[in-house]
């Protein structure tokens, strides 16, 4: 047997493990070179794993399993390429067996009945640090007939959500109910193999083939949790674009989908039902939603930063008039030449890269008992997306021009909002800039993006009365904040860094002359 091992590939400098999101192929399926076989999730992004050879796939790790980089995830038997034909023939014969009575299926059914047994399904191991999971929803009912690899339910842990496929064909007997929290290895359901007779199984599809096909269509194109969310919002799954394999609508897709205008109809009928209590007015409905895996990761990382760093914040204000005058003077010619607008962010990125050269400690990080200094500036720029906050990185920002920075910001922002950022585009930053001013923030204390040691917060620009050359004048002022890890950055350096940024922005010619 010529067998090729497929291992978890390196996906980023700070990524040490990944979780198997879902398998697009079943164990024993024939796969082609570069065909996508499964999706992998890390705490930063989701990416696809492709087949490294052509042959028969043998799965070694299940959905929800957490693997380290380099661990074996599957093998491909390249010598068994001829085995794909029988597998495909078997699949093509299955519908014929359910549609019409034939000698071959009648002989196979007694064998299945003779080997009738109960298969116990237990909660699989989903990661080293995960000890329990919660049953989010069942996609099958107790007593339903299920096929091998058919999705039974969706499980949630504190790190990820994954689907549980049937490990055998037969009649489902549910043990754990929706909302139950089960330990790893606990019994979740049973499958009675051969419990249903050969004639009764195909009878139901024959009586109502259309309804059965519609149900399978819905299950195929929406995960159980996504279907539940869409049902609560009153949205048809057909109206939602899925980001999963084969257009499958996932949980994030359902959360992004807007509500239908049919909602006011329910509101109109509500007063009739609530007529006996006219004193109550207004909408007092409460609802609960499970946190997405990305939101859980963001929450965990932010709490860890607060607990593990000596974080302080220093503030200053910047007169933005010189930058605004420079933009208004050259923005049209700049866009005509470079085909991109001249924004404020490029000025801040350039100012930060110059200041980081003067204060290298702000561009450093702590690794155990060592300090890592960087002679380059990989600037992370916080971008808000429907799924949460992400921080793509502008590589070697110190060597880029204003036009190159603006183009990179636009490219990364579009990829972030489309959910197409790769791990290499979000890892390895040395300093972060976040702009709360786009949402109207006047002042804030941003949280450090670990393992970095500092983050600069921009805010909105407001015209204020200030004293300049002994006279009161109106100037566009922005408050800026620098949150920093006091373990590595002293107060003097943090204040001096922010003053240096202020000087560069209030006299932008310094940026052009490298002064």
Please provide the size of the chain in residues: 515
Q: What is the CA radius of gyration of the chain?
A: 29
Can you say whether residue 201 is alpha, beta or left, with left for phi > 0 and alpha for psi between -120 and 50 degrees?
Answer: alpha
| DSSP output for 271-289 | HHHTTT-TT--S-------
Q: Which residues are catalytic?
A: 486, 490
**Residue 367: Cβ-neighbour burial (10 angstroms; 0-12, 13-18, 19+):** exposed
H helix intervals, 274-343: 293-308, 321-338
377 and 362 in contact (C-beta within 8 Å)?
no
Tokens of residue 48, six digits = 């696809």
Q: Helices H, strands E: what count in the chain?
A: 13, 27
Distance from C-alpha of 426 to C-alpha of 421, rounded to nearest angstrom: 7
Distance from C-alpha of 135 to C-alpha of 393, rounded to nearest angstrom: 37
Sheet holding 66-68, edge to edge: 46-50, 36-41, 17-23, 66-68
Distance from C-alpha of 192 to C-alpha of 136, rounded to nearest angstrom: 23
Of 354, 400, 340, nearest to 509 (Cα)? Answer: 354
234 and 260 in contact (C-beta within 8 Å)?
yes
Q: Are strands 379-381 and 431-435 parallel, antiparallel or unpaired?
A: parallel
Which long-range contacts link 103-111 to residues 24+ away (Cβ below 8 Å)? 105/198, 106/198, 109/197, 109/198, 110/198
Tokens of residue 317, six digits = 């204000």
Distance from C-alpha of 452 to C-alpha of 363, rounded to nearest angstrom: 8
Cis? peptide before 451, omega within 30° of 0: yes
Other beta carbons within 10 Å of 324: 15
If you search the block for the tokens 């992370």, which residue do you land on?
A: 380
């Amino acid at each position: 047997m010529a067998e090729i091992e497929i291992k978890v590939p390196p996906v980023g400098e700070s990524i040490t493990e990944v979780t198997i999101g879902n398998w697009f192929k079943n164990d024993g399926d024939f796969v082609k070179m570069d065909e996508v076989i499964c999706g992998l999730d890390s705490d930063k992004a989701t990416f696809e794993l492709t087949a490294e050879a052509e042959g028969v796939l043998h799965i070694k790790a299940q959905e929800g399993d957490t693997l380290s980089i380099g661990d074996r995830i599957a093998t491909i038997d390249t010598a068994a390429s001829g085995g794909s034909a029988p597998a495909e023939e078997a699949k093509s014969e299955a519908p014929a067996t359910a549609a019409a009575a034939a000698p071959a299926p009648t002989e196979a059914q007694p064998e299945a009945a003779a080997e009738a047994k109960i298969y116990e399904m237990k909660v699989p191991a989903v990661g080293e640090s995960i000890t329990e999971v919660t049953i989010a929803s069942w996609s099958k009912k107790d007593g339903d007939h299920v096929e091998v690899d058919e999705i039974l339910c969706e499980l949630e842990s504190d790190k990820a959500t994954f689907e549980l496929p049937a490990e055998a064909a037969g009649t489902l007997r549910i043990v754990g109910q929706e909302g139950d929290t089960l330990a790893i290895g606990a019994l979740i359901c049973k499958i009675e193999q051969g419990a249903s007779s050969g004639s009764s199984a195909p009878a139901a599809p024959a009586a109502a083939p259309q309804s059965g096909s519609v149900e399978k269509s819905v299950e195929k194109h929406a995960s159980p949790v996504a279907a539940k969310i869409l049902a609560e919002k009153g949205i048809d799954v057909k109206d939602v674009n899925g980001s999963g394999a084969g257009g499958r609508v996932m949980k994030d897709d359902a959360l992004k989908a807007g509500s239908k205008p049919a909602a006011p109809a329910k509101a109109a009928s509500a007063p009739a039902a609530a007529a006996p209590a006219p004193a109550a007015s207004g909408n007092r409905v409460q609802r609960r939603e499970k946190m997405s895996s990305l939101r859980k990761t963001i929450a965990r990382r932010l709490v860890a930063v607060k607990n593990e760093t000596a974080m302080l914040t220093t503030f200053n204000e910047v007169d933005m008039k010189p930058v605004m005058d420079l933009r208004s003077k050259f923005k049209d010619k700049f866009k005509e030449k470079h085909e991109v607008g001249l924004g404020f962010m490029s000025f801040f990125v350039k100012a930060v890269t110059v200041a980081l050269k003067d204060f290298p400690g702000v561009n450093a990080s702590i690794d155990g008992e060592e300090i890592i200094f960087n002679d380059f500036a990989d600037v992370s720029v916080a971008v808000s997306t429907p799924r949460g906050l992400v921080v793509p990185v502008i590589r070697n920002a110190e060597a880029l021009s204003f036009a190159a920075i603006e183009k990179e910001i636009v490219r990364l922002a579009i990829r972030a909002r489309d959910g197409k950022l790769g791990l290499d585009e979000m890892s390895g930053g040395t300093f972060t800039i976040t702009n709360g001013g786009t949402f109207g923030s006047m002042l804030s204390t941003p949280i450090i993006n670990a393992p970095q040691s500092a983050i600069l917060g921009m805010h909105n620009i407001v015209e204020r009365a200030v004293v300049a050359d002994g006279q009161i004048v109106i100037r566009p002022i922005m408050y800026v904040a620098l949150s920093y890890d006091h373990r590595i950055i002293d107060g003097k350096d943090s204040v001096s860094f922010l003053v240096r940024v202020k000087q560069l922005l209030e006299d932008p010619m310094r940026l052009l002359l490298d002064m």
